[in-house]
């Protein structure tokens, strides 16, 4: 550095920082040999704080405003330097400007899936990501714990550590919540607020504050999402027979638009219809011969029963299994039973449909020799 540059730096008596970046958290004010003119003006703008370091020790912290650097407003630094009243020579100190504004849109996310136990699907692996905001709450603590002597400290130097803290807390809360996987989307805001409050003490250890944390998405591995989509599709289809008829009608409509394919499709349809008519005629003839005109009505279907065995629900069981359990002694007349349509559980002996079960459960008398 030339003589003129040195004199120029020594003659400057305004200490300030104009920040034109979006990610700088701390900036060290550069002076020749760290010399600051006694009586210089310190300008600290809104969203900033100025920290004075003397011989590696934290001396003073200045909040927004214009300050004249004298022994009157530098009590700690004046004590460290052993100044006497009226001493007006330059003094040496490092000045760090700390940005206290909020730093937004900082990313967090799980590098590896989090294994949790879902009450419906069992063990599943979940990924999550989102954003958060942070700001420097205690400039002195922030410099001592994270910045050190870094002349320009940016958000990139701390986001990895903060992300790890957030993910660790998120995994712990997600595992303890026991919220079903399909209900997580309705609890993003609650999760975000809860994690924010839980993380504040950890951030304060570094002199930081965590104003807000947002959960943008909690997702499953691709293969699990594909299986879940298939399950959803089956639920949407519902009645498979009605869906098949609908698909057939759609195929007929599409075939009508293609004359070549229509002939083939109609021929196949006519053949199938003719075969169906022939089968129906044969069944009708057989029915007329054996049981009179027309086919017999379908056999009545018995509604299965649930049993209360050893205080636990078992079933449902068809009539054949109920007879076997009565023979084996599992089903007794005083056993509680229930089926669809009953208002409440009742003893088996009070249910008319089960009378035949206990009648057959008693073996016939042994033959006399």
Residue pair 103/134 in contact by the 8 Å Cβ criterion: yes
**Residue 271 neighbours by CB under 8 Å, 6+ apart:** none
**Residue 275 neighbours by CB under 8 Å, 6+ apart:** none
Whether 111 and 211 share a structural domain: yes
pLDDT band at 346 (very low <50, low <70, confident <90, very high): confident
Sheet containing 346-347, strands listed edge to edge, beginning at the edge strand earlier in sequence:
312-317, 305-309, 336-338, 346-347
Q: Give the integer Cα–Cα distance in Å for 298 and 3.
A: 112
Selection from 208-222, 238-252, 315-329 with the highest mean pLDDT: 208-222
Q: Give the integer Cα–Cα distance in Å for 284 and 344.
A: 44
Whether 141 and 205 share a structural domain: yes
On whether residue 313 sits in a domain, the answer given is yes
Residue pair 307/333 in contact by the 8 Å Cβ criterion: no
Cα–Cα distance list, 60 to 28, 35, 53, 76, 302 (Å):
15, 16, 7, 6, 88
Domain boundary among 200, 225, 250: 225
Average pLDDT over residues 246-252: 75
Whether 124 and 142 share a structural domain: yes
Whether 69 and 152 share a structural domain: no
- pLDDT tens digit sequence for 200-240: 999 999 999 999 999 999 888 777 777 777 766 666 555 66
- Find tokens 């509604």 and name the residue: 303
In total, how many domains does the chain have? 3
- pLDDT tens digit sequence for 67-122: 887 766 565 554 545 444 444 556 677 899 999 999 999 999 988 888 888 877 78
On whether residue 153 sits in a domain, the answer given is yes
Average pLDDT over residues 281-299: 52
Q: Give the integer Cα–Cα distance in Å for 321 and 314.
A: 12
In this prediction, residue 102 carries a pLDDT of 94
Strands 208-219 and 122-136: antiparallel
- pLDDT tens digit sequence for 146-173: 998 888 999 999 999 999 999 988 888 8
Query: What CATH code is carried by the domain that includes residue 322?
Result: 3.30.1490.40
On whether residue 293 sits in a domain, the answer given is no
Residue pair 80/55 in contact by the 8 Å Cβ criterion: yes
Residue pair 159/107 in contact by the 8 Å Cβ criterion: yes
Whether 108 and 221 share a structural domain: yes
In DSSP notation, 260-285 reads: HHHHHHHHHHHHHHHHHHHHHHHHHH
For residue 207, give its domain range.
Answer: 103-225
In this prediction, residue 248 carries a pLDDT of 80
Query: What CATH code is carried by the domain that includes residue 205?
Result: 3.30.479.30
On whether residue 253 sits in a domain, the answer given is no
Domain boundary among 210, 225, 240: 225
Whether 349 and 321 share a structural domain: yes
Whether 33 and 69 share a structural domain: yes
pTM over 0.75, yes/no? no
Strands 14-15 and 41-44: parallel
């Amino acid at each position: 550095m030339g003589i003129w540059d040195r004199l120029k730096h020594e003659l400057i008596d305004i200490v300030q920082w104009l920040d034109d970046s979006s990610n700088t958290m701390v900036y060290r004010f550069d002076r020749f040999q760290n010399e600051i003119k006694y009586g210089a003006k310190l300008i600290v703008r809104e969203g900033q704080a100025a920290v004075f370091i003397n011989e590696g020790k934290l001396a003073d912290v200045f909040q927004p405003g214009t300050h004249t650097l004298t022994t009157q407003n530098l009590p700690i630094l004046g004590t460290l330097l052993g100044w006497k009243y009226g001493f007006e020579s330059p003094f040496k100190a490092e000045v760090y400007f700390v940005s206290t504004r909020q730093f937004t849109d900082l990313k967090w996310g799980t590098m590896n899936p989090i294994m949790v136990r879902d009450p419906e699907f069992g063990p599943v692996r979940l990924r999550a990501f989102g954003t958060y905001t942070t700001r420097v709450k205690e400039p002195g603590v922030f410099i001592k714990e994270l910045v050190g002597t870094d002349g320009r400290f940016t958000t990139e130097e701390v986001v990895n550590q903060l992300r790890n803290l957030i993910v660790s807390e998120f995994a712990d809360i997600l595992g303890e919540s026991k919220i079903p996987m399909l209900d997580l989307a309705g609890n993003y805001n609650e999760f975000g607020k809860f994690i924010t409050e839980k993380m504040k003490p950890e951030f304060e250890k570094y002199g930081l504050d965590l104003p807000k944390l947002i959960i943008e998405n909690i997702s499953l591995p691709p293969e699990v999402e594909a299986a879940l989509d298939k399950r959803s599709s089956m639920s949407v289809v519902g009645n498979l027979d009605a869906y098949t008829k609908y698909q057939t009608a759609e195929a007929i409509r599409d075939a009508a638009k293609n004359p070549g394919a229509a002939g083939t499709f109609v021929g196949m349809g006519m053949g199938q219809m003719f075969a169906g008519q022939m089968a129906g005629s044969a069944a009708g003839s057989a029915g007329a011969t054996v049981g009179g005109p027309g086919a017999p009505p379908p056999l009545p279907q018995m509604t299965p029963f649930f049993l209360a065995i050893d205080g636990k629900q078992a079933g449902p069981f068809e009539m054949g299994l109920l007879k076997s359990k009565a023979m084996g002694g599992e089903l007794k007349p005083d056993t509680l039973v229930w089926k669809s349509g009953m208002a409440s559980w009742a003893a088996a002996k009070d249910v008319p449909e089960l009378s035949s079960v206990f009648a057959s459960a008693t073996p016939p008398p042994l033959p006399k020799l």
